[in-house]
Structure 1
Amino acid sequence: MNPAAGGPCQGIRNSIPSLLTLGCESEVVCMDAPNETFGMDDPFIVHRIGRSRGPWAYSSGLLPWLMQNLTGYDAVIIHGLWLYHSYAVTRAIKKLSQDRSFALPKVFVMPHGMLDPWFQRDPSRRLKAIRNWFVWKLVEQRVIARADAVLYTCQKELELAREPFQPYRPQQEINVGYGVAKPPEFDPCFDAAFRTTVPDLDGRPYLLFLSRIHPKKGVDLLLRAYTSVLSRANGLGKVPALVIAGPLDSDYARQMQQFAADLKLSDVHFPGMLSGDAKWGAFYGCDAFVLPSHQENFGIAVVEALACGKPVLISNQVNIYNDIESDGAAYSETDTPEGTESLLRAWLSTNEASRQAMSTKALECYQARYLPAAAAGKFLQAIDRE
């Protein structure tokens, strides 16, 4: 449940409170150390059975825990694929099914974009793609086939999941949508908390990237595009600063910091991972949110920006881009250097009145499409089908 790991754990934290209001209680089992809370006081039970090991995230304690506890639940949701936990759930259900004296829970898989064809097609992932093909043949095709249904965060994710692997035979495919928790109302202390993390901003306007700093997120595209815009800014007015917020403990993040230094981008800032007041200060204070990702099954941070009334500049590989753009709250482009530069130029060429109109539409888009209560209702309906 480490928030630095990305979207699935945040999605779980977004959905459980809304499910509870509908009478559905939830618990989480994860491979965290028993004393790891990551500074978060989660209002639901978390069973931390110890850290996993190796690239498959093997946990010797998971299968025994599942064998002992699974029959106490009505439904089990497998969040994500390609790791030991999906195999362990399927294995436990198969073993428990040999005893017909008790009812088994329904099993659902929520891939969180992990069946997107980008992961198999991107040249930088060739070895991982080969590994995934073998894991699919040995494990994951059975996980998908034996689950009662596969749950997707949007229709585009559902459709793309059919492409990369065969045989692909889910019993049901259900688009349950995704809800994102409403942010706290703006408080001046948010801005103060954020500005202390980036003191060199000195009150200047900025564009915000807030996500994992990972190759699929297009950070290199963003830095190149920002450099190009700075060098040819005639007629665009003053170019705002660029804040790239995300964990800095990976090789890729360090490479991007060095890349920005090599490009002599003095107005690009890497404050690290932001949370709490500083995170919301970053969202509320930015001119716009930018994410030129190569693959995004949903994009929680994109929706968090909308919820703060911020227009978003995103690639057309963010699976919900079309809905947001049709609502007038986004500019979208291809996930290329040229496309990313076009995003920045489109925003810088937008007059203040149009920017304000996009901000209003951003909040309206969030309220119409991504409130947690509506998504929780669809989710509960999906897992409660007979």
Structure 2
Amino acid sequence: MKILRVISSMHPRNGGPCQGIRNATPYFDKAGITTEVVCMDDEATSYPLTDDFTIYKVGNGKTSYQYQPKLLKWLEEHIQKYDFVIVHGLWQYHNLAVYKAIKSAKKKKQYVPKIVIMPHGMLDPYFQKASERKWKALRNKLVWSLIEKKCISHADAIFYTCEEEMKLATTTFKNYNPKKVFNVGYGIQMPPENNVLFEEEFHKSCPTVKGKKYFLFLSRIHEKKGVDLLINSYNELSQKSLDFPDLVVAGPLESNYASEMVILASKNPKIHFSGMLSGKSKWGAFYNCQAYFLPSHQENFGIAIVEAMACKKPVLVTINVNIWREIHQGGGGWVVDLHRKDGFRNALLEILEQSDKDIMKKGLKAFETYQNKFDIDTCANKFIQTLENI
């Protein structure tokens, strides 16, 4: 079996879907399945890691829609080589390009592979209801009626990463009529075993936290992630308790929002910005933190959440994270309803009152949840079996 994954970018700074591809590919290899990727990164783009599978880069797209006609041409020339084409994400040109390439192949009476679309949370109603997204919501509504609806309807299957995502996707737009839908799950590889080099590499990126207890936020520094909520609550509570652990905010710092967050935290010496972490420094941050925080307003899966759980760390998330039920049922963290007044602040206070022993126990429960729900081997096998039954 040969699979082509189509995605807008494979640069690690884009998080989620491209990391999911990197997590799963070695397990597909073991099953004798070849994975290749085509994306709209510039041909000269280099990633801060080495991939052991083929990635075709056709060039950057234009506008936020990432229009790149070279992608359609590439697909028309190569799509017959694959048994399955998996489209990662919506709202950008790569989904339409696959639809057009398949339509062209059918017209020419050529072989057509099976098409699977993975929305990765992009059909979540949050994106249409959030007050700060009014214009983007109108754009999405137009793009849905003209493009995405027919792409969804003509695909052979839609794959969701968890039950909550699958349920929410049915509520966002009218005329949602996929042929088949599946919850295939999502998983990560077991992290590398902890060692002192990880901690040393992390402290090179964040030397000001060396020797201190800290909580960790590691993700994109974006409005959706609730970073302002985290910093404001931290500014208030850390002033009231000298024993409150420090906070490390790890993520790319190049955006305007990230700059605003640095300013917001500038008077608090207990908040540290490390920049983007990867490889050894990332694992050093996870293994040495007390707990992981992601107070997101919308999160489809949250690979970093599960990475923290796999490192035996408890996690603080919101009910807007689609795997919150699994976390709550497993007892490996704290779940906050942001609609409740002071809900997040009170959760931080609850964590502060727990002993190191209690936090370690929650971390072990988080690890058990990872093993039971999010282990990549189990999830990859389920994914492959689902493909074979489409």
SS in 2 for 1:57: coil
Instruction: Provide Cα deviations, 1:43-76, integer angstroms capped at 9, x if missing partner.
Output: 1111111121211101121011000110110000
Alignment of 1:1-386 (within 5 A): 1-100=10-109, 102-233=110-241, 238-261=243-266, 264-335=267-338, 338-386=342-390
2:4 is aligned to none
Which amino acid is the alignment partner of residue 256 of structure 1?
M
- Supply the distance in 1 between the matched residues of 2:210 and 2:29 (Cα, whole angstroms): 43
SS in 1 for 2:116: strand
- How far apart are residue 20 of structure 1 and its match? 1.5
**TM-score with structure 2 length normalisation?**
0.95
- Supply the distance in 1 between the matched residues of 2:356 and 2:288 (Cα, whole angstroms): 16
Which amino acid is the alignment partner of residue 353 of structure 2?
S
Which amino acid is the alignment partner of residue 319 of structure 2?
N
**TM-score with structure 1 length normalisation?**
0.96
- How far apart are residue 385 of structure 1 and its match? 1.4
Which amino acid is the alignment partner of residue 298 of structure 1?
F
- Supply the distance in 1 between the matched residues of 2:349 and 2:12 (Cα, whole angstroms): 32
Identity of aligned residues (%): 44
Which amino acid is the alignment partner of residue 245 of structure 1?
A
- How far apart are residue 157 of structure 1 and its match? 0.2
- How far apart are residue 37 of structure 1 and its match? 2.8
The 8 Å contact of residues 235 and 265 in structure 2, kept in 1 or not, is answered as no
Instruction: Provide Cα deviations, 1:344-371, integer angstroms capped at 9, x if missing partner.
Output: 1121111232212112112211111111
State the Cα RMSD in Å: 1.2
Which amino acid is the alignment partner of residue 4 of structure 1?
R
Which amino acid is the alignment partner of residue 43 of structure 2?
P
Structure 1: 5+ residue stretches without partners: none
- Supply the distance in 2 between the matched residues of 1:34 and 1:74 (Cα, whole angstroms): 25
Which amino acid is the alignment partner of residue 308 of structure 1?
C
Which amino acid is the alignment partner of residue 82 of structure 1?
W
The 8 Å contact of residues 247 and 273 in structure 1, kept in 2 or not, is answered as yes
- How far apart are residue 202 of structure 1 and its match? 3.2
Which amino acid is the alignment partner of residue 324 of structure 2?
Y
- Supply the distance in 1 between the matched residues of 2:274 and 2:355 (Cα, whole angstroms): 29
Structure 2: 5+ residue stretches without partners: 1-9
- Supply the distance in 2 between the matched residues of 1:353 and 1:223 (Cα, whole angstroms): 26
Instruction: Provide Cα deviations, 1:78-102, integer angstroms capped at 9, x if missing partner.
Output: 10000000000001101110122x4
- Supply the distance in 2 between the matched residues of 1:279 and 1:140 (Cα, whole angstroms): 36
- How far apart are residue 301 of structure 1 and its match? 0.2
The 8 Å contact of residues 75 and 107 in structure 1, kept in 2 or not, is answered as yes
